[in-house]
Structure 1
């Protein structure tokens, strides 16, 4: 079969989710990905609790839950920590998680083709033609780009020219016994954050899972010169410092580091004639933490509703598909817009910030809730600012 109602490019959480939802509505869907599945993606693998609440079926693939967090100052001399009764975030293995979502889509009737790199996309008034590197070509009424930061769909359809604002990440995941992880991070799997190391605009994380440890770094490049930052060296130096201080298991080394990039801001436009962009391809991400799975799956849901209506009207024009952007902005756009100014927190003096925050346990808890997306920034921004001001005045 070379003709489908919809071709989805990219089989991450956005692509698999929108493909599943469209198959539920009796549309023929081809899901393409350039990689061979299962595949691992550079990512911390944290799922917010609101993601689980909105998509409860993914609870069966959760690897572990994190019940607390600890934030260290760049000197590693000060820290603030908090443990909760309820989980702050859920952890998954991205290779298992993404593969699970793909298999779920296939069970619903989606045709999945991995190891299939898209070379070109040609949109006409009649259809969309998708050309692959193996010489194959597919026709569809509509194409959905869920193919990440460097989206070929966005580039070929002129929705993306270049990104000046990016998050550059380096990640390593190591298999470690549950007993060792219990010893270092307790059964509550406490997560550790190290912001502003060596002056970077971002943070390093250590995320313990059931029998794996994920350590990584993200640096937000917002148009400024970052050539002075050797991000790999910063992460490697931290690994050995933490091992010396017995804050990291000896099994973790500096081999097999993987790099990647994420967007920081949404694209100016996330649709055009016969085209919709979801998730990272559209720039939909939490600009404070870099978390994108919630926005990937939510934008996929918004896209499925829009595409379903387009087929009922037999109208795939830009005007018809514009409701997609209206939908995602109503769904979570306000949160992203409110978070963007707050993402400047990564430029702070962290020695001073940690010193101030540790004075107020309630402030610590509010910041944990914000970072883990348990509450909207709009609802607690005022409380955080007031408590931070009081804590900075009274020692």
Structure 2
């Protein structure tokens, strides 16, 4: 019997697999596609801190995020340029495959083209099947669900999925006028959140947005925006669309099962980016699984160590992000214009430079929301 089966060969799954294998647990990764990094819809932005803290490979880096330019509905702009890279933009295909090689080097095995659709937990093991009548189910002492969002595998184990979702729609296009990462704001541009232009190599960019409803409609409308359309040289962009959780699941462990990454809703609630948080939480999951193996006990009471540790690590950030999104979702275009104009003030820029961290937003959010101008904005002022 295998000690740990990881379902999904994305960054979270590969991280967990590498660490459990390195600790001596027999580890098998099941991936539905033919290799890691295929059919991924992601901006590929990973903060500099993640590269340093997790010793991530630099070969997949396509470009670096040096600054961010915010554009309001009326054309007002606010540029944040700290003078050093905030993050790197990676090729997800290259990045995920490099992590797969890292896991393999530590003893993890991979099986590609295996779409795990069914799991069944009993007192002694977890059985994983591709279909109901699978003649050769895989048996493991524990399973890690790292499939990304949208699977029903947690529900099969009795775990409730995230209650709120949004959608990310994006395409890679050839484009002119690329410099900073651009964040486009406004009810006509991205009614539920924001739109982005993420430069890749000076000639191409990832262009997309988040929307709770009708994401494809809003995406094609975005590409016709006068700030974007004249710069696009790709005739027929190929849109990718995927659901994204907006909050974590209520419980991420049960007997012999842990859920990590987007499948657990471990994504930043400000930007919905999930690579770094997912990898951090995957490391904590691996620690709990190694301890479970040492005790010979993979029941929920042992795996609760993971639940408690990941919530302690990132849940305060998730709650702060949700409070900001609640405020932003109620703003009119005129208020968004005022907010962007406010960001250009010297005292506000000084505050941002002092408190801003690419992956950790809570301190800046909480401090900003105490500003009189933001309080007035929240009450419907600053028209």
CA distance in 1, matches of 2:355, 2:116: 38
Distance 1:300 1:237 in 2: 37
Which of 197, 207, 217 in structure 2 is aligned with 1:206? 197
What secondary structure is seen at the aligned counterpart in 1 of 2:119? strand
- Equivalent residue number for residue 185 of structure 2: 195
Shift of 1:368: 8.2
- 2:66 equivalent to 1:67: yes
Q: CA RMSD in A?
A: 2.7
Superposed CA deviations along residues 228-287 of structure 1, whole A, max 9, x for unmatched, are xx33232222223346774x3x32345310100111111110000000010111111111
SS at match of 1:148: coil
Alignment of 1:246-395 (within 5 A): 246=230, 248=231, 250-344=232-326, 345-359=328-342, 360-364=345-349, 373-378=358-363, 381-383=366-368, 385-386=370-371, 388-389=373-374
Specify which of 207, 222, 225 is matched with residue 241 of structure 1. Answer: 225
Give the TM-score normalised by structure 2.
0.88
How far the C-alpha of 1:99 sits from its partner, in A, is: 1.7
Q: Per the alignment, do residues 209 and 255 of structure 1 end up closer, same or farther by CA in structure 2, a change over 3 Å counting?
A: closer
Determine the structure 2 residue equivalent to 1:218. 210
Q: Which residue of 1 aligns with 2:178?
A: 185
| Map of 2:139 onto structure 1 | 139
In structure 2, runs of 5+ residues without a counterpart are none
Paired residues of 2:62 and 2:200 also in contact (CA < 8 A)? yes
C-alpha distance in structure 2 between counterparts of 1:388 and 1:264, whole Å: 27
Q: CA deviation at 1:299?
A: 0.7
**1:54 Cα deviation from its structure 2 partner:** 1.7
Residue pair 1:5, 1:140 contacting (<8 A) in 2 also:
yes
Q: Bigger CA drift: 117-126 or 36-45?
A: 36-45
The structure-2 alpha-carbon separation of the partners of 1:374 and 1:304, relative to structure 1 and needing over 3 Å to count, comes to: closer
| Deviation (angstroms), 1:12 | 0.9
Contact 1:71/1:79 (CA < 8 Å) preserved in 2?
A: yes
How far did 1:51 drift?
1.7
Whether the 8 Å CA contact 1:196–1:346 is kept in 2: the answer is no
The residue matched to 2:315 in structure 1 has which SS?
helix
Say if 1:202 and 1:346, in contact at 8 Å, map to a contact too.
yes
Q: Given the two structures, how large is their TM-score scaled by the length of structure 1?
A: 0.86
Alpha-carbon distance in 2 for matches of 1:214, 1:191: 10
Shift in Å, 1:44: 1.2
| Maintained 8 Å contact 1:197/1:234 | no
Paired residues, number: 372
C-alpha deviation, 1:328, in angstroms:
0.5
Contact 1:357-1:391 within 8 A present in 2 as well? no
Greater shift, 373-382 or 65-74, is seen at: 373-382
What's the secondary structure of 2:266's corresponding residue? Answer: coil
In structure 2, the CA distance between the partners of 1:375 and 1:298, relative to structure 1 (3 Å rule), is: closer
CA distance in 2, matches of 1:213, 1:11: 25
Query: What are the superposed Cα offsets for residues 126-161 of structure 1, whole Å, 9 maximum, x if unpaired?
Result: 11111124754211100001111123431210202x
